[in-house]
Structure formats: C-alpha cells, structure tokens
C-alpha cells in the first residue's frame, strides 16, 4: 500500500476527492478536507491547529509532506485520525461516511498485502531450500553459493521484516548521520583509476574497465548528495552507501566493471566514513557476502528498488556488533 490513490465520492455524487493511501493510512491535504466538510479554510485551519496544540494527536505521525501535481513544493497531508477528529469538531455526517469508506479500503489493502507478503515469504523459504540442496549447483561458484546462503540465512529476519511491511513501512531508525566525508567526483575517479591499475596488473580487467559511457556517474554522485529545503535526501552513511551501490550497478555508468566498481565504491565510501568495520574489528560484510549482494542487486527487478535499498541498509545495521 505505497502511494495508492483512490477516488472518494459520496452517495449524492456531490464530492469527489483523490485520497492518498500510504503507510497503512489514508491522507488528505487541507484543500481536500475543506472540500470534504464544506467549511471555510479558516475553520479547518483552526481545528487542525487545535488538534495538535491540545495534544489530541501526535503531529509527527499524523502529518506528512507529499508532492502533488502542478506544485513545486511538497504539501502537508493529514491522516485519517486527523480527518475524523475534524469531522467530530465540525459535527459533519460526511466525516462518518468518509471514515467508513476509508477504513473499508484500508482493510482491503491490508488483506491483499498479507497475501502478497505470504507469497514472498514462501518464495524466500523455497530459495533457502534450493541453495541448501544445491550448494554445488552447476554454473554457480561454491564461494558465491555460500555467500548467497550466508546472506539469506544471517539476514533472514531482514527479509521477513521487509516482506511483512511490503517494502514500504520498515523503520530506518538509528542510522548514522555523522557523515565525515561527502563523496566527491574527482576523488571517486582517482580511486577507480587506482583499482583499474591494480586489476590490469593482475590481468583481471581490460582497458574498457571503468570507462564512462557518459556523465551518468557524475549524475549518480549528485543524486546521492541532493537536498531539499536545506535537508539532505539521504542524510545517513547507510543510505548514501546503499544508494551508491545500487545506482552504479543498476544504471551501468561504465562500459565494463559496474558490479565490481559498485562494490568497491560501497566499501571505499564506508571506509572513508569510518563505518567499514564491526566493533570487533572484522569487516561488516565479508568478501563473499559483498559479491553476492552485488549479484542480488544486479538481478533484482527495478520495481523492487526500495526493497533492495532497505535490505542493504539493514545488512549494514545488523552488522554493528
């Protein structure tokens, strides 16, 4: 239930509103609430302000900024609980009708989501069974298969969490926002050039390795550092490292070596930010695990981008000890 939109129409077909369904909730902006209850803007604004001022509802969890068509800036949206509370305050029967309709749609989404999640969990169990039974399967290197098994087994809980929340509601809390090194295009190119030199010396790469197709690599780095209203889009080390790995592998900015460069830059960035090792001094993700992670990203469906990013973040988080 991630950014679904449903049209609400009352029985008299007098009111038609596009309702956002996100994070197991229904959301309307102030203009839509005014239309729903047919009240002046000043009345609705006063009630919203009082709801939060009187601590009837928590503002942080009941108000979200979302983008809407024909608007350059994000707009405040309010949860179903806020809408219901306003309905009580303005004594509107329309609020009751909307609540019944919205709760019905939410229930339908949750039932559908549970079915999808169960299917994904079944597929996960089948994958674990397949790798267990075919650890020496043809065309798969032993280390690679072991790495895949290690990731799936050691981080099975992450998979279950991600699937349980259908890749949209997994909390990304307790991330490290103490970024001491912001990735720099010139620094990154120097590091990749040094990597290429070492690989060519070992006869593990050709001159095509690391050659840029266009300006997309520079675009990837700008994307990772982008901000809005003074706030970084990816404010944590884990988020930036995960997007760096994903974008390089999936966007193919280089003629050759995208998976190896993506994995290298992932490790290089974590090391620059003193975030590469566990407290014990061991690598957070070992070599086999990193190779397998790169393969998982490469083979993943682009529609599952958020799922893969959150998985990578959880792999880093779960490796702190």
Alpha helix segments (H runs only) across 5-40: 30-37
Contact 283, 127 (CB under 8 A): no
Residue 124 · residue 159 · CB < 8 Å: yes
Give the pLDDT score at 311.
75
* pLDDT the model gives residue 153: 47
Strand partners, 256: 209
Determine the pLDDT at residue 312.
81
- pLDDT by position in tens, the chain (length 321): 455 777 777 666 666 788 887 777 788 899 988 888 888 999 999 999 999 998 888 888 889 888 776 667 888 999 888 888 888 888 777 777 777 777 777 666 554 544 444 555 454 555 445 444 544 444 444 444 444 444 444 444 444 444 443 444 444 557 888 899 999 999 999 999 999 998 899 888 899 999 999 999 999 999 999 887 778 889 999 899 999 999 999 999 999 989 889 988 998 998 888 876 655 555 666 666 677 677 778 877 788 788 778 878 877 765 444
Q: What is the pLDDT of residue 119?
A: 52
The pTM of this model reads: 0.52
Q: Which residues face 28 on adjacent strands?
A: 78
Whole-number pLDDT of residue 20:
81
> What pLDDT was estimated at residue 50?
92
Catalogue the long-range contacts made by 28-36 (C-beta closer than 8 Å, 24 or more residues apart): 28/77, 28/78, 28/83, 29/66, 29/68, 29/75, 29/76, 29/77, 29/78, 30/76, 30/78, 33/78, 33/83, 33/86, 36/8, 36/83, 36/94, 36/95, 36/98
Domains annotated for the chain, with CATH where assigned, are 4-103 (3.10.260), 185-317 (1.20.120.1870)
Q: Which two tokens stand for residue 170?
A: 């997994």
| H/E segment holding residue 248 | helix 237-251
**pLDDT computed for residue 45 by the predictor:** 94
- DSSP character at residue 302: G
What pLDDT is stored for residue 279 in this prediction? 58
Residue with tokens 């900024």: 65
Which CA distances in Å does 239 have to 234, 236, 309?
A: 6, 5, 8
Separation of alpha carbons 18 and 33, rounded Å: 11
pLDDT of residue 132: 47
């Amino acid at each position: 239930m991630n950014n679904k939109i449903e049209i609400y129409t009352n029985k008299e077909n007098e009111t038609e509103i596009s309702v956002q369904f996100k994070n197991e909730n229904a959301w309307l902006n102030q203009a839509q609430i005014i239309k729903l209850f047919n009240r002046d803007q000043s009345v609705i604004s006063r009630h919203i302000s009082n709801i939060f001022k009187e601590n009837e509802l928590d503002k942080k969890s009941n108000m979200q900024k979302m983008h809407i068509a024909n608007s350059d800036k994000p707009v405040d949206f309010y949860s179903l609980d806020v809408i219901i509370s306003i309905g009580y305050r303005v004594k509107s029967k329309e609020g009751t009708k909307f609540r019944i309709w919205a709760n019905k749609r939410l229930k339908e989404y949750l039932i559908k989501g549970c079915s999808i999640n169960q299917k994904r969990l079944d597929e996960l169990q089948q994958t674990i069974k397949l790798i267990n039974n075919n650890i020496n399967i043809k065309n798969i290197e032993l280390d690679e298969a072991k790495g895949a098994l290690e990731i799936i087994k050691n981080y099975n809980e992450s998979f279950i969490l991600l699937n349980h929340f259908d890749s949209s509601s997994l909390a990304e809390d307790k991330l490290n926002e103490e970024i001491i090194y912001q990735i720099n295009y010139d620094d990154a190119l120097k590091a990749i050039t040094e990597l290429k030199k070492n690989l060519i010396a070992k006869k593990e790469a050709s001159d095509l390795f690391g050659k840029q197709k266009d300006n997309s690599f520079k675009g990837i780095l700008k994307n990772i550092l982008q901000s809005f209203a003074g706030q970084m889009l990816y404010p944590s080390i884990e988020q930036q490292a995960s997007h760096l790995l994903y974008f390089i592998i999936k966007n193919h900015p280089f003629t050759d070596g995208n998976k190896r460069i993506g994995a290298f830059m992932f490790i290089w960035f974590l090391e620059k930010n003193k975030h590469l090792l566990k407290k014990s001094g061991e690598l957070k993700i070992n070599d086999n695990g990193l190779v397998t992670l790169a393969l998982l990203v490469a083979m993943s469906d682009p529609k599952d981008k958020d799922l893969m990013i959150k998985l990578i973040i959880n792999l880093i988080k779960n490796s702190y000890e």
